[in-house]
Every structure is written in C-alpha cells, then in structure tokens.
C-alpha cells in the first residue's frame, strides 16, 4: 500500500524551485532588496492617503532622494451589509480601490502600474462613538491591506 510521504514531496519541491526561476524577494537579486529605500512615495493629501503611505514606507523604507517614484490614487466606498428587523444598518463593508504607478525618476518611464482592490467590514451595532471607532480602525486595516497588495505587485515587477 502506497502512502503519501511529505518529506519526499518537500525535498522534491526544493529541488524544483531553482529550476522554475524562483528568487527570494529579500535575497541578493530579489525585488525587495532592489526597492528597499529606493521608492519615493507621493505625499499624502488625506487621512486614507497618509495611512497608505505610512504602510508603504514601513515596508519599503523612506527614500530621499529615491530612484523610483510611486504615485497612487485611492477610492473608498461604503456598503451596508447587515440590516436589523427595525431597518437599522448593523454592519458595513468598506470597499477600497487603489491604482498605482511606479516610475523611474531619471527616465520618467513607468516600470509597472496596476490596480488593487479589497474590502473590510465593521460593526455598527453599538453606540455612535464605538461605530465611529470601528470605522476608523477598519479604514486603517483597509489601507494596510491595499499597501501589502501594492508592495507584492512591486516586488514581482521590480527591476533587478
């Protein structure tokens, strides 16, 4: 009787990874090291933009001056998803979209661009103060998620 052996599978996968072109992000030739401290993120003009910029700079580092410039645009919408029997909204989703473009500051050429989307939810069943606090925290989570998605895209497209 044949049984699945995880050790053999893992060793086989480790042997196959270099053949597929896999490079660790923070390895010597990875996208993470190529962009670390090299991306100048556009200045924020709103609280959401500040939260996104903070999350991006936490992972990429602050560049002054940088080799690359990152511009972005954010839109956030609200969707009611939970309604009580008395027709009061008890839960909301925040739907976030961010478009971005990474450009080389010397040549002004766009290295990569794209759009990321995600959502988070928060409860509105408590007091006005707790609902507002939940919304503020949800916006912060949403901007962190969008920043993580942008960074993942940047690492994949990063020049060596």
**What are the tens digits of pLDDT across the range 56-68?**
999 999 887 889 9
Separation between Cα atoms, residue 96 and residue 76, nearest integer Å: 4
| Residue 23: DSSP 8-state | -
Which pTM was predicted? 0.81
Q: How high does pLDDT run on average in the chain?
A: 86
């Amino acid at each position: 009787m044949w049984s699945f052996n995880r050790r053999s599978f893992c060793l086989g996968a480790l042997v196959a990874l270099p053949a597929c072109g896999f490079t660790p992000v923070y390895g010597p030739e990875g996208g993470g090291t190529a962009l670390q401290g090299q991306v100048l993120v556009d200045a924020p003009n709103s609280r959401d933009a500040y939260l996104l910029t903070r999350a991006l700079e936490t992972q990429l580092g602050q560049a002054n001056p940088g080799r690359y410039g990152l511009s972005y645009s954010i839109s956030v919408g609200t969707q009611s998803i939970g309604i009580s029997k008395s027709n009061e909204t008890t839960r909301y989703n925040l739907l976030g979209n961010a478009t971005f473009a990474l450009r080389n500051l010397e040549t002004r050429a766009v290295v990569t661009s794209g759009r990321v989307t995600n959502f988070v939810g928060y409860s509105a069943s408590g007091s006005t103060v707790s609902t507002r606090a939940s919304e503020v925290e949800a916006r912060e989570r949403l901007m962190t998620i969008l920043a993580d998605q942008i960074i993942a895209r940047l690492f994949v497209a990063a020049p060596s």
